[in-house]
Every structure is written in structure tokens, then in C-alpha cells.
Amino acid sequence: MVALFSVSVLATTMVYADRFQEQINQLSAENTQKRANQSILSTEASSLTDAINRLQAEINASQARIDQLNGEIAELRRQQAIENARLFARSGGVVNVPDSSGYPWANYRSGSWTHAGSCYYGDDVDPWGMCYRQCVSYTAWKVWKEGRFMPNWGGRGNANNWDDNARAAGFRVDNTPARGAIAISNYGTWGHAMFVESVNPNGTINISQYNVGLTGEYSEAYNMSANGLVFIHFPPR
């Protein structure tokens, strides 16, 4: 009886041992697969980290370029402001008065308009291709309002492009001021455009304008010297 009991216990023990071994083998196989997966994920993580680092370097380089360009734009605006101030130092100066001209876009983005944002808002281009509240938008509108022919010069509409555009179109361009002409200063980054309201007996001019201070505001100037200015005489429509 003792022998039979021992054999039975041994057999039972061997059955459990086989089951445990099967579990061990299964767990070992799973661990092997998990280690393989871990290695793959580690490789992918390393690649992703490299990709993230490359993207961050590109972002940093782009931001540095943006900062550089913003600095250059600010310098161009500063130079234009200096030239505009020099231009009006020869007269009685600029007089900031409420705009009674009827210019349709005088209040466009009131309180939030900036010279830097102008032409980038996406909804601020007038029928002649000029950006609202810029000097050229106001003068284009004044030409049209006076019953004269105003071409669409969008894309080449800086003030210092206007006299060249006008000559190419066959319009009269000279140094003789006249009421209704557009006075162009070619100095500075973009130049400046003004509407001649009247000519005084001594040859000085009285003008209306927008954005001379790069603030998108209306202003006037009186008894301004015509020296150094170019005048465009747009034909009737």
C-alpha cells in the first residue's frame, strides 16, 4: 500500500510539474516577444525623438528668421517715418483733423489697425488694389471721387511706384502742382502719396492725406513746398 501511495503522489507531482513547466515556457515566450516589442518601440522612440529635435531646430531657425524680418520691417518703417517728417518740416507741419472727406474705410479696424498688419488682414483691399487706410488707398479713392480715371495698381501700388506706373500708362507726370493732382514723394521705403487740394499763389500746396505717421489716420498740411515732389495728373473718366 505504501508503495502504491508513493507512486500515486509521484505521478500527481509530475503532472503539476509539467503544467508549471508549460506555464513557464509560455511566460518565457511572452517575455521574449515583449522584449522584442520593447526593442522595436525603443528604436521608434529614438527615431521620434530625433524627428522632434529636428523639427524643433527648424522651428527655432524659422522663428529667428521671423524675428530678423520683423526687425528689418521695423527699420524700414522707421526710415519712412523719418522721411515723412522731413518732408513736412518744410511746411507748417501736419495738422491732424477729423476726416470729413467721406473716405469709405476711415474706420476700418478702428482701434486695432496697424501699419504692420495692413495688407495682411485679408479683407482690406480697395477697388484699385490698395490696402485700406494707406496713403495710396486714400489718394486712389480721391482720384475716383474727382471723376478721374484710376487704374488698378494692386501689387505695384507703393507710392514710389505711382509715377512710374502713370508714365507707363501715358498719364501726364511732371513737377507742376495743380488742384486734383496726386503729389508723390519718392523718398523712403515706400514713398508717400498726397492729394493736392489747392495751390497757393506762391506755388506752395495744401494737401490731404492718410497714414503719414504710419498710424492709418487722416491729416492735412498747408503751405507745403512743392520742391522735390512729382505730380500725377489723372485724366477724366
Q: Distance (Å, rounded) from C-alpha 20 to C-alpha 162?
A: 92
Q: What is the CATH number of the domain that holds 139?
A: 3.90.1720.10
Range with top average pLDDT, 8-12, 49-53, 218-222:
218-222
Domain around 132: 93-233
CA-nearest of 143, 128, 106 to 236 is 143
User: pLDDT tens digits, residue range 78-132?
Assistant: 777 787 777 777 666 788 888 999 999 999 998 899 887 888 888 899 999 999 9
Q: What is the pLDDT of residue 6?
A: 64
The pTM score is 0.72
CA distance readout (Å), 75 to 8, 69, 80, 84, 213: 98, 10, 9, 14, 14
User: pLDDT tens digits, residue range 211-225?
Assistant: 998 899 999 999 999
User: Which of these ranges, 109-113, 138-142, 233-237, has the smallest mean pLDDT?
Assistant: 109-113
Domain boundary among 89, 108, 136: 89
Burial of 155 (0-12, 13-18, 19+ CB in 10 A): exposed
| pLDDT at 4 > cutoff 70 | no
Residues 6+ positions from 82 with CB-CB distance below 8 Å? 188
Looking at the fold, whether 219 and 127 belong to one and the same domain comes out as yes
Q: What is the pLDDT of residue 218?
A: 96
Looking at the fold, whether 107 and 166 belong to one and the same domain comes out as yes
Q: What is the pLDDT of residue 128?
A: 95
CA-nearest of 208, 212, 185, 204 to 196 is 208
Residues 6+ positions from 151 with CB-CB distance below 8 Å? 128, 165, 169
User: pLDDT tens digits, residue range 161-207?
Assistant: 999 999 999 999 999 999 999 999 999 889 999 999 999 999 999 99
Looking at the fold, whether 190 and 206 belong to one and the same domain comes out as yes
CA-nearest of 164, 118, 166, 126 to 142 is 126
Looking at the fold, whether 80 and 127 belong to one and the same domain comes out as no
CA-nearest of 196, 129, 187 to 160 is 187
Looking at the fold, whether 149 and 79 belong to one and the same domain comes out as no
**How many domains in the chain?**
2
Looking at the fold, whether 8 and 43 belong to one and the same domain comes out as yes
Q: Distance (Å, rounded) from C-alpha 180 to C-alpha 144?
A: 11
Measured from the Cβ of residue 150, the count of other Cβ atoms closer than 10 Å reads: 20
